[in-house]
Copies of this chain bind each other. A is one copy, B any other.
Amino acid sequence: MINIAAHSFHDATAIKLPQPAMAIAPMLAARGLHSSAIRKVACNETLWCEGDERSHIFVVRTGAVCLSRTLPNGRRIVLDFAYPGDIIGLGADTQPCDAHTVQLTRLEAIPVAAFKRAVAEDPEFGRQASIQVANALSAAYQHVVVISKLSANERLASFLMALSRRNEAHGLSGASVVLPMKRLDIADFLGLTIETVSRTFTRLREAGLIALDQHNVVVFRDLARLRALAAGEGEHD
């Protein structure tokens, strides 16, 4: 469930984290683990469920993965998304959440046994993995902040700005983003309903902050105001 790039996924977190420079991926490669079996998984396929014994560490190559939990009454909460380059499945041996694809996704699957062997042989390797878990925790804290204290406008802006920053961190333009997931996934991630997400997109568009192309491409027209919204710089208190 650990999203190695989670530190770039939430707004404020991106600024405040120590920036581990993601040293674990090269280390995986150096150990030959990075070239493990590659799986091609269809959209809406489940990788694991909450409570499962962890069997693999996955590296997302293309597509997107959604990490979620489900309440007894069926209500679902999306905890994080994993994009190409992200590593998921670090952390405890028992999965703390469900994981399923939201697109056609290609994954590298590293068996847990091989991963643990690498950790045992190289303490630094384990240390880097721990850092990633700590970063995921910091990202989860940020998620709590977003959900508990931001308005619908601010939440969506926060989500979009995190994607924008992620683009920039990967050398792409931060001026627009492609949304790989559906409105329902965004709603469950932001603690809103699908209708509110839809309305909020409309509000941001009418306010001149964004423009929309075919539902899943967002072009930013006023990054400064969007960033202010995302940071929760509203006039409360």
Query: Inside 8 A of A75's CB, which chain B residues have their CB?
Result: 149, 232, 236-237
Interface magnitude class on chain A: 35 or more
Among B131, B143, B232, contact of A71 (Cβ-Cβ < 8 Å): B232
Q: Are A143 and B145 in contact (CB under 8 A)?
A: no
Q: Are A148 and B77 in contact (CB under 8 A)?
A: yes
Interface residues of A in 72-99 (CB under 8 A from B): 72-75, 77, 79, 91-94, 96-97
Q: Are B149 and A77 in contact (CB under 8 A)?
A: yes
Of the listed stretches A28-36, A107-115, A120-128, chain B binds A120-128
CA distance in complex: A83, B137 (Å): 20
> Digit string of A134-164 for contact with B (CB within 8 Å is 1, else 0)?
1111101111110111000000000000000
> Digit string of A146-185 for contact with B (CB within 8 Å is 1, else 0)?
0111000000000000000000000000000000000000
Query: Inside 8 A of A144's CB, which chain B residues have their CB?
Result: 77, 79, 140, 143-144, 147
Asked whether any CB of chain B lies closer than 8 Å to the CB of A65, the reply is no
Q: Are A149 and B92 in contact (CB under 8 A)?
A: no
Asked whether any CB of chain B lies closer than 8 Å to the CB of A64, the reply is no
Among B92, B123, B237, contact of A134 (Cβ-Cβ < 8 Å): B92
Q: Give chain B nearest CB distance to A193 CB in angstroms.
A: 11
Q: A79-B141, A133-B134, A136-B137 are in contact. List 15 more A-B contacts (CB 8 A).
A: A16-B51, A16-B94, A17-B92, A17-B96, A18-B94, A79-B144, A91-B133, A91-B134, A92-B135, A92-B138, A120-B123, A123-B123, A123-B126, A133-B137, A137-B140
